[in-house]
Structure 1
Amino acid sequence: MPRKISYEKELAFQADRRKATTEFIKIVSDLWYDKSIEIVLFKNQLIDRNVSDIIQLHEYAGEFVQKPISIFDSVELLRAINDIPLPPSKLDIGKLTYEYHSDDNNFNNVKAFVIDKLKSAKNYKDIRPKDVVLYGFGRIGRLLARELMSKTGKGTQMRLRAIVVRGDISEDILEKRASLLRSDSVHGKFTGTVTIDAQENSLIINGTTVHIISADKPESIDYTKYDISDALVIDNTGAFRDKTQLSRHLKAKGVSKVLLTAPGKEIPNIVHGVNHLEYDPDSTHIFSAASCTTNAITPILKVVEDSLGIRKGHLETIHAYTNDQNLVDNMHGKYRRGRAAGLNMVITETGAGQAVAKALPSLKGKLTSNAIRVPVPNGSLAILNLEIKNKTSLEGINTIIKKYALEGDLVEQIKYSLNKELVSSDIVGASAPAVYDSKATIVSENGKNLILYIWYDNEYGYSHQVIRLAKYIAKVRRYTYY
């Protein structure tokens, strides 16, 4: 028998749900722009989302926790959050809604529940904003600029003040750089405004001035001329990789910290969420954010190592082609990378297997690794073939990963996917560096061998890891509730 729910009632419910979602979006915006409080839904960003996006994210959240996550409940909780004094924060409304309906919730009053859950926020100190300079403006540099500018809000955290490039800065060049920021063939349109000020050699992004500085030597720049001081330089050129070279940034006037967006030598290689707390930003001045692949696999490997133990393993990364490959067959400094990137699968090397040990020393010498570049512009896949110490089952390993994706220190790093149809284009735009494909996991009959499939947006997901680490270095991490 079909359900006897009238079509009119279905329409009325949909109208009420969309109306509630509109209020949800307004409160999310008010909290962000008025109070510097960022609301996310199980790590998914909500700023600049439309009604359909929000409804779909609630449906995903309900499937994820196997309990309905209602937009009506979320709105009620947001109203309570808006009514209480809080410092600049990042709060997960999905987790709060889930906990409000959990069996151990003793609060009948929403406001009392919110006050109790967020009571530790009162211990947070005021944040001093940090000036940021992007040294380089390529794929990662432009994504960092997009994210920094779209999340500037009231400017309480990181402020993008300048971008350093090589070569002349003419009106034509400025317009070309502005155009590349506005439109991206992979990531789409920038959800903001970008114009140029040719007289001041600047981009005006969302109404805010960002200076474009031309320089061949990092130590030659005087940032104080641009009213920039105590700045964090994020070097995304790949030209400087070791401590001596990167120290040149610290000789420039107005710079106090340096962050490299590539694996570095003689400096801490950090996977945020795994080993960032081992280095004090007061005493460490140069950091590396490691590689996109290292950021994708290390959180998952930490979970497996901590929960089950790893004897040995092999990593094979199926990686999107990158700018260091040739568009058509031509000479190249490395074997195979000279062949046309858009036409070939190309076997090449990756240092990610060894790099993991810098963040997880217990895995030193236990992992081998290799890479295959494939003809997609973005979106990669790491396949982990692991022999573990303590046996598990398919349900067991999935339950472990899901727990870490839901709570703890790695919730920003691991997204747990329930999608049976997941392909590489689906993870473009994922802010988590590791998207765990729960439907592809394989466990051997003896429970001692795992094959795990980890998707990652090698540009966007990695850029978010860079920003998370940058916030830690800059000491502008807000109160968070995940």
Structure 2
Amino acid sequence: MSNNEIYEKELSFQADRRRATVELIKIISDLWYDKTIELVLFRNQLIDRNVSEILNLVEYASDFVEKPISIFDTVEVAKAISQLDLPPSKLDIGKLVYEYHLDGNDNASVIEFISNELKDAKSSNEIEPKDVVLYGFGRIGRLLARELMTRTGRGGQLRLRAIVTRGKVDQTVLEKRASLLRNDSVHGDFPGTVTADVEKQALIINGTTVHVISANAPEEIDYTQYGISDALVMDNTGAFRDKEALSRHLQSKGVDKVLLTAPGKGIPNIVHGVNHLENDPNEIDIFSAASCTTNAITPVLKVIEDNFGVVSGHLETIHAYTNDQNLVDNMHNKYRRGRAAALNMVITETGAGKAVSKALPSLEGKLSSSAIRVPVPNGSLAILKLRLEKETTVEGMNAAMKKAALEGALVEQIKYEMNNELVSSDIVGTNAPSIFDSKATIVTEEGKDTVIYVWYDNEYGYSHQVMRLAKHIAKVRRYNYY
């Protein structure tokens, strides 16, 4: 075969792959908007992805499981899912394709295999939609608004109904709020529509009204006048951090539960996937989603604790600068944070080492911690230097982490990264709170000292953890197949 013939064959195959991907995109959209069935690929979201993005995710999936996963197999499995009568669900199509071939089912019909794998879906409980209020509209608040509106679908889970801010709500303010939601210097443009409606005092997001309410105190708001009832309030202000202060939200008419998007005092601090099942929303009204760093390191530490045991260790976070630092040198109430954030590495403190023990009590008193803020706007790194109870190797440590990323309770929390060239900008937009850098793992020859590198998008990855916890609190978690 000549070079030109080989090239023509490659072009034809590439066209077939892209055509199949277009078909997959249509199935993904139909399942989401018609049946509230969300397809993901090894926890990577597929809704609103383009052809090239999906093909890249399929390639990652194939490398991850070390078994060929083609776009054509993926389409066949998606077709089979679309033919079944399933309740609202979140299904990992990559895992289904992998399991289909792994179990030697190649000779059985795809639909027969899928029906058997998803047989428990029909016994899942029906869910009631939950109204959501964002109290505060900063970095995390706007990312939550984006995700809530992108994933609204038929409105069967979380429904964003209102945003609470301080100050007047006029045309100028609404336009500025809309612009900040629409455009983001780190995360890019919002894949939807946002317009300001001064008459309604609202943002119209993807054609849906989201009221913008001005208030100086939580208890002065009557949400019922906006048609909102039994709402979950997500407090993103950072102003209310303990049970007494956060309880003020519950004095508002129309509020049922409160979720703080920061570490809290006197309330359960939850890392979803690790300790959320230990806190029953039928009995508890106020929750904390802990910090981005705690959500990054706790899942990885749980895997290490369960497999090898942790004697002691130190955590160093290399963290993106945040809004509490100064843009230029100026006064600040904390040491060093007054120096220009985009020009300096700044040593500061973190409570993440102690915070881990709230989710993993077995690590109480075992970890020290410190932090360095660095001149990047987003994307952080945690370095864990640990003394282990059991000996292991680099291969043993990586195998334990890969298994946790592929199956079990932490598949949403841990992404297993295999890229030799990984840098901080590469992890921006990753919805897993923990990105385990398998190529950077260090284990001493003795086998009991290890250094682990965990990347995390301290905004986007954390926001997804908040969303997962919110669904648990609101009791709107669908049937999942991971």
Q: TM-score, normalised by structure 2?
A: 0.99
The separation in 1 between residues aligned to 2:350 and 2:200, in whole angstroms, is 42
Number of the residue aligned with 1:268: 268
Number of the residue aligned with 2:20: 20
1:39–1:91 contact (8 Å) kept in structure 2: yes
One-letter code of the match for 2:173?
I
Q: Show CA shifts across 1:73-131 (max 9, x none).
A: 11001001000000000000100001111144376100000000000001112110000
Residue 227 (structure 1) shift: 0.3
The separation in 1 between residues aligned to 2:359 and 2:143, in whole angstroms, is 25
The separation in 1 between residues aligned to 2:86 and 2:304, in whole angstroms, is 36
Q: Show CA shifts across 1:199-243 (max 9, x none).
A: 110000000000000000101100000000000000000000000
Residue 7 (structure 1) shift: 1.6
Q: Show CA shifts across 1:302-356 (max 9, x none).
A: 0000010000000000000000001111110000000000100000000000000
Residue 409 (structure 1) shift: 0.4
1:148–1:158 contact (8 Å) kept in structure 2: yes
**Structure 2: 5+ residue stretches without partners:** none
SS in 2 for 1:101: helix
The separation in 1 between residues aligned to 2:393 and 2:105, in whole angstroms, is 32
Number of the residue aligned with 2:288: 288
Q: Show CA shifts across 1:378-431 (max 9, x none).
A: 000000000000000000000000000001100000000000000000000000
- 1:103–1:458: structure 2 CA closer, same or farther, 3 Å change rule? same
One-letter code of the match for 1:419?
N
The separation in 1 between residues aligned to 2:116 and 2:389, in whole angstroms, is 41
1:73 aligns with 2:78: no
The separation in 2 between residues aligned to 1:110 and 1:45, in whole angstroms, is 23
Residue 12 (structure 1) shift: 1.1
- 1:306–1:201: structure 2 CA closer, same or farther, 3 Å change rule? same
Residue 2 (structure 1) shift: 10
Q: Show CA shifts across 1:170-209 (max 9, x none).
A: 1000000000000000000000000011011000000000
Number of the residue aligned with 2:329: 329
Number of the residue aligned with 1:38: 38
SS in 2 for 1:75: helix
Number of the residue aligned with 2:418: 418
1:372 aligns with 2:372: yes
1:123 aligns with 2:117: no
Number of the residue aligned with 2:7: 7
**Runs of 4+ deviating beyond 6 Å:** 1-5
1:379–1:424 contact (8 Å) kept in structure 2: yes
The separation in 2 between residues aligned to 1:465 and 1:334, in whole angstroms, is 28
One-letter code of the match for 1:237?
T
One-letter code of the match for 1:179?
S
One-letter code of the match for 1:465?
Q
The separation in 1 between residues aligned to 2:389 and 2:4, in whole angstroms, is 54
- Structure-to-structure mapping, 1:176-195, within 5 angstroms: 176-195=176-195
Number of the residue aligned with 1:478: 478
One-letter code of the match for 1:481?
Y
- 1:430–1:8: structure 2 CA closer, same or farther, 3 Å change rule? same
One-letter code of the match for 2:92?
D
- Structure-to-structure mapping, 1:142-161, within 5 angstroms: 142-161=142-161
- Structure-to-structure mapping, 1:17-416, within 5 angstroms: 17-105=17-105, 108-416=108-416
One-letter code of the match for 1:66?
E
The separation in 1 between residues aligned to 2:228 and 2:296, in whole angstroms, is 33
Residue 9 (structure 1) shift: 1.3
One-letter code of the match for 2:64?
F
The separation in 2 between residues aligned to 1:23 and 1:374, in whole angstroms, is 43
Residue 369 (structure 1) shift: 0.1
One-letter code of the match for 1:462?
Y
SS in 2 for 1:147: helix
- 1:3–1:118: structure 2 CA closer, same or farther, 3 Å change rule? farther
**Structure 1: 5+ residue stretches without partners:** none
Residue 5 (structure 1) shift: 6.8
One-letter code of the match for 1:304?
I
SS in 2 for 1:142: helix
Residue 8 (structure 1) shift: 1.6
Number of the residue aligned with 2:437: 437
The separation in 2 between residues aligned to 1:314 and 1:323, in whole angstroms, is 26
- 1:356–1:5: structure 2 CA closer, same or farther, 3 Å change rule? farther
The separation in 2 between residues aligned to 1:85 and 1:36, in whole angstroms, is 12
The separation in 2 between residues aligned to 1:45 and 1:107, in whole angstroms, is 29
Provide the alpha-carbon RMSD of the alignment.
1.2
SS in 2 for 1:189: coil
1:379–1:456 contact (8 Å) kept in structure 2: yes
For these two proteins, the number of residue pairs brought into alignment is 482
1:330–1:339 contact (8 Å) kept in structure 2: yes
The separation in 1 between residues aligned to 2:4 and 2:452, in whole angstroms, is 44
- 1:15–1:167: structure 2 CA closer, same or farther, 3 Å change rule? same
The separation in 1 between residues aligned to 2:474 and 2:192, in whole angstroms, is 25
The separation in 2 between residues aligned to 1:163 and 1:177, in whole angstroms, is 10
- 1:101–1:4: structure 2 CA closer, same or farther, 3 Å change rule? farther
Q: Show CA shifts across 1:284-318 (max 9, x none).
A: 00000000000000000000000100000000000
Q: Show CA shifts across 1:461-482 (max 9, x none).
A: 0000000000000000000000
Identity fraction in percent: 73
1:107–1:113 contact (8 Å) kept in structure 2: no
Residue 4 (structure 1) shift: 10
The separation in 2 between residues aligned to 1:259 and 1:174, in whole angstroms, is 25
The separation in 1 between residues aligned to 2:46 and 2:144, in whole angstroms, is 18
SS in 1 for 2:25: helix
The separation in 2 between residues aligned to 1:216 and 1:12, in whole angstroms, is 62
Residue 11 (structure 1) shift: 1.2
- 1:330–1:276: structure 2 CA closer, same or farther, 3 Å change rule? same
One-letter code of the match for 1:234?
M
The separation in 1 between residues aligned to 2:460 and 2:8, in whole angstroms, is 42
One-letter code of the match for 2:273?
G
Residue 10 (structure 1) shift: 1.1
